[in-house]
Structure 1
Amino acid sequence: MVLLLAARSRSPWRLGGSLRLFVGDDWAEDHHDVEVMDASGGRLARARLPEGVAGMARLHAIIGDLVGEDADEVEVIVGIETDRGPWVGALIAAGYTVMAVNPLQASRFRDRLGVSGAKSDAGDAHVLADMVRTHAHELRTVAGDSARAEAVKVVARMHKTMIWERTRQTQRLRHALRDYFPAALVAFEDLDAPDTLELLAKAPTPAQAARLTVAQISAALKRARRKDVADKAARVRAALRCEHLGQPDVVTEAYAASVQALLAVLTVLNAQIKALNGQVDAHFGQHPAAEIILSQPGLGSVLGARVLAEFGDDPHRYASAKARKNYAGTSPITRASGKKKVALARFVHNDRLIDALTTQAQPALLWSQGARAYYDRHRARGAGHNAALRQLANRLVGILHGCLKTGTHYDEATAWRGPAQPSAA
């Protein structure tokens, strides 16, 4: 049931003295608790709306009932703890200004309004409405990324998710083999490689593996396009026939059944990762900024797609290179108290983006003399490898920002001239 606390015939700015309406939207999987607030903090409406078209229509009706005939003069600002999905897209399409609020921010803001620890969905909607009313200037507006950038984000994120999942399943396989079949860990270096999966599926127990012939092992290596097949086959066969501690037969059979399940999962993951890799290439290659991103040192199509996906392509989202660096999480934070002042790495960041940027920095050391000199300069000052690599990633974000702003490709001389160059000493 919708509760309207303002007379239907009156305009919101006459009630609150403002040309703005502030909406807090606490979302769940099947419903949204919303509260509409005026500029003075007065509650104009509160409702629980169903997810989907019906709920969005009711929200529009509530807003329309409040603004009356002055809809074109009113700005509606919505605070919600997400920046994606059909509901957010519909809010933006309706012309509302949507602020993506970090759940941690909302939690801390809630503590300012009360110390009892009480929490409810309706109360969270009130907190979000009050946040966008008083702190809209400090919150992030949901970026207006293009549909093509959104498509890149969808496939790039799923591709990376599949890789992370493969790593998890590979670790499970490693732990199982260590418990009953340690010879396999000596014989096979890459547990998620096609030849390893094929041979383990054919011989999941130590006794079966010891009976594998050189011809069988060589055939699997050839299908996986390995080099030095003869030497590798002999080495694998020797490792599988070495004596190791084992488990009773009944336990070994149980482990073998478990390993067979893991091998099937890894085989499917490998196939889907390969398929998604093609999708990432296809979508990223069609984006207008692809050539500029690919011109950056250390970025290929997959890594470049991840960087584009997480930064987005809204040209107005980052006012400066510093803003992009802060969002990336590569720039340090400063803690100062009295005479003590320290610079620390940011631990609250977009995990996918920071992973892509630090991954870029490593090969950039080989492909860019400027990047190498910049890294060496920080190492000479006493920074560790990870700290120096993070500083390099931060610098590369600034370079990327400049290239995207000006629409120019990366140029080694331009990127590292001036302060970026190490001193002659």
Structure 2
Amino acid sequence: MLFVGDDWAEDHHDIEVQDEHGRAVKRIQLSEGMAGMARFHALVAEFLPEDAEPADVLVCIETDRGPWVRALVAAGYRVFAVNPKQAARHREIISNSGAKSDKGDAHGLADMVRTRRHQLPQVAGDSDVAEAVKVVTRAHQTLLWERTRHMLRLRSALRDYFPAALEAFKPLGLTSPAVLRLLAKAPTAATAAKLTVSQISAALKGHRNIPGKAAAIQQALRTQQLGQAELVAAAYASTVRALVAVITTLNTEINNLEGEVEAHFGRHPDAEIYLSQPGLGVVLGARVLAEFGDAKNRYASAKARKNYAGTSPITRQSGKTKTVHARFVHNDRLVDALHLQASCAILHDCEVRAYYDELRARDVGHNAALRQVGNRLVGILHGCLKTGTHYDQTTAWHHRHDTQAA
């Protein structure tokens, strides 16, 4: 067997190859791309016998994604992705001098996969469909986060010079196309006060009760308010127009990407299983699928999936002290999706709601209760994916009824 430490950078890889005894048989720097990968294959061939298998090559690297990692997995090598924090701790074990270099990092990674491979997560290749779902869902979620950031900037600017707009547009939301059209047309208090009911109604096209809403908005825009000097207000208006243009563009692209998310997610064979889960629709289901992946051997058990999801707690015990904490090192995108799933599930599934109410009755906080609900839902999802069956309320929650009956 060969043990390879790969310390990657944007344009090159520092490689160290060790044998089973920990001797470094080769150190080399390879370029990123096809030429570097071809040289990597040639390097492996130099030290492996002809009857060896690609699985006899174990590669340790501090990332689990990208074309380089995907090429290693496709070649049949066993690739182990480690957290940089894990790699740093292992480096401290094999050297206490505090020295650090790219070659030294490659040496530490090779030694790590040689001595502790049974403790490291192996990269499992997802299908092309799952990879495509991940790309579009992450892009969609990133644009949503960007829209929220720009919306908060818009809100802050309006609060400083045009507070009446916040009160007038509060029922619709600052990211509403109708609100953006009105702000683009009248970004100052003086111009907004001159808007007629018909102008406001035209911007509200597509909404319900347009006359009532238009009258309420006009009245709010014409109320007395504290403001800024005319010159300062004009400067704020320029920034608001820019923010309105950015948010309008983001709205368009978010809608376009949502269609892509639905199209790619619909091609996945497990899509119906995800959609059968309580609290999951197309967008949330696609996010959960994207972040979990679909490699069959990635999660050995429901507990392993829960640990990766970050929903299962961790216990710290020393002497007579024992405490239970939430996991703070986790996949933020997955945790966000599971939190939203739990929030929706307690509204639409009576068994999930009963479990949530039971937790709240034990003085568990709202967010902690949602995290426990999410943890249970992850276990249910794992069972459904393992057996290829849809969510069944009776099967998923029968243990609670058996316990209550006993």
Q: TM-score, normalised by structure 1?
A: 0.92
2:312 is aligned with 1:314: no
Instruction: Give, in angstroms, the shift of residue 419 of structure 1.
Output: 3.6
Q: Name the SS of the counterpart of 2:60 in structure 1.
A: strand
Q: Equivalent residue for 2:346?
A: 365
Q: CA deviation at 1:300?
A: 0.4
Change (3 A) 1:213 1:121: same
Which of residues 33, 39, 43 in structure 2 aligns to 1:58?
39
Residue 84 of structure 2 is matched in structure 1 by: 103
Q: Which amino acid aligns with 2:351?
A: G
Correspondence for 2:175 among 188, 192, 209: 192
Residues 214, 233 of structure 1: 8 Å contact kept: yes
Q: Offset of 1:405 from its aligned partner? A: 0.4
User: Aligned letter for 1:211?
Assistant: K
Query: Which AA in structure 2 matches 1:92?
Result: V
Contact 2:7 2:14 in 1 (8 A): yes
Aligned equivalent of 2:128, options 129, 144, 147: 147
- The alignment-based identity, stated in percent, is 66
User: What is the CA–CA distance in structure 1 between the aligned matches of 2:402 and 2:16, rounded to whole Å?
Assistant: 54
Q: Which shows bigger deviation, 101-110 or 168-177?
A: 101-110
Deviations 1:357-415 (A, max 9, x none): 11001111122121111111111112111111111100000001000100111111110
TM-score (norm 2): 0.96
Equivalent residue runs for 1:19-418 within 5 Å: 20-72=1-53, 75-189=56-170, 190-222=173-205, 225-418=206-399
Q: Give 2:250's aligned amino acid.
A: L
User: Which residue type is aligned with residue 253 of structure 1?
Assistant: A
1:49-84 per-residue CA deviation (whole Å, 9 max, x = no partner) reads 111001111111111112253443871111111111
Q: Look up the SS of the partner of 2:252 in the other structure.
A: helix
Work out whether residues 23 and 36 of structure 1, in 8 Å CA contact, stay in contact via their aligned partners in 2.
Answer: yes
| Kept in 2: contact 1:373–1:421 (CA 8 A) | no
Residue type at the aligned position of 1:144: G
- Deviation per CA, 1:147-174: give whole Å up to 9, x if none: 1111111111111111011111111111
Assess if the C-alpha contact under 8 Å between 1:151 and 1:283 holds in 2.
Answer: yes
1:333 & 1:45 partners in 2: Cα distance? Answer: 40
Partner SS, residue 204 of structure 2: helix
**3-state secondary structure, aligned to 2:17:** strand
- Contact (CA 8 Å) 1:322, 1:398: kept in 2 or not? yes
Unaligned runs of 5+ in 2: none
Give the Cα–Cα distance (whole angstroms) in 2 for the partners of residues 253 and 114 of structure 1.
62
Provide the C-alpha distance between the structure 2 equivalents of 1:211 and 1:197, rounded to a whole number of angstroms: 17
SS in 1 for 2:2: strand
Q: Tell me, yes or no, if the aligned pair for 2:73 and 2:124 is still in contact at 8 Å.
A: no
Deviations 1:308-346 (A, max 9, x none): 001111111111111111110000000111112111111
AA aligned opposite 2:365: G
Q: Would you say the 8 A contact 1:374–1:422 is kept in 2? A: no
1:301 is displaced (CA, Å) by: 0.6
Matched-pair contact (CA < 8 Å) for 1:24–1:35: yes
* Structure 2 CA distance for aligned equivalents of residues 379 and 286 of structure 1: 39
- Shift of the alpha carbon at 1:28? 1.1
Q: Which amino acid aligns with 1:202?
A: K
Residue in 2 aligned with 1:10? none
SS in 2 for 1:45: strand
Shift of residue 420, structure 1, vs aligned partner: 6.6
Q: Show CA shifts across 1:162-204 (max 9, x none).
A: 1011111111111111111111111112111101111101111
Secondary structure in 2 matching 1:279: helix
SS at match of 1:317: coil
Distance in 2 between the 1:371 and 1:74 partners?
Answer: 43
Contact kept in structure 2, 1:33 and 1:125, CA below 8 Å: yes
Cα distance between partner residues in 2 of 1:417 and 1:168 = 43
Query: What per-residue deviation string (whole Å, max 9, x for no partner) do you get for residues 208-246 of structure 1?
Result: 111111111111111xx2111111111111111112221
| Conserved 8 A contact 2:16-2:106 | yes
Provide Cα deviations, 1:14-43, integer angstroms capped at 9, x if missing partner.
xxxxxx111111111111111111122211
Q: What amino acid maps onto 1:120 in structure 2?
A: S
Please report the RMSD computed on the Cα atoms of aligned residues, expressed in angstroms.
1.5
Alpha carbons of structure 1 residues 384 and 421: separation in structure 2 relative to 1, 3 Å: farther
Q: How does 1:6-21 map to 2 (within 5 A)?
A: 20-21=1-2
In the aligned structure 2, how far is the partner of 1:62 from the partner of 1:146? 28
The code of the aligned residue for 2:174 comes to L
Distance 1:35 1:187, change over 3 A: same
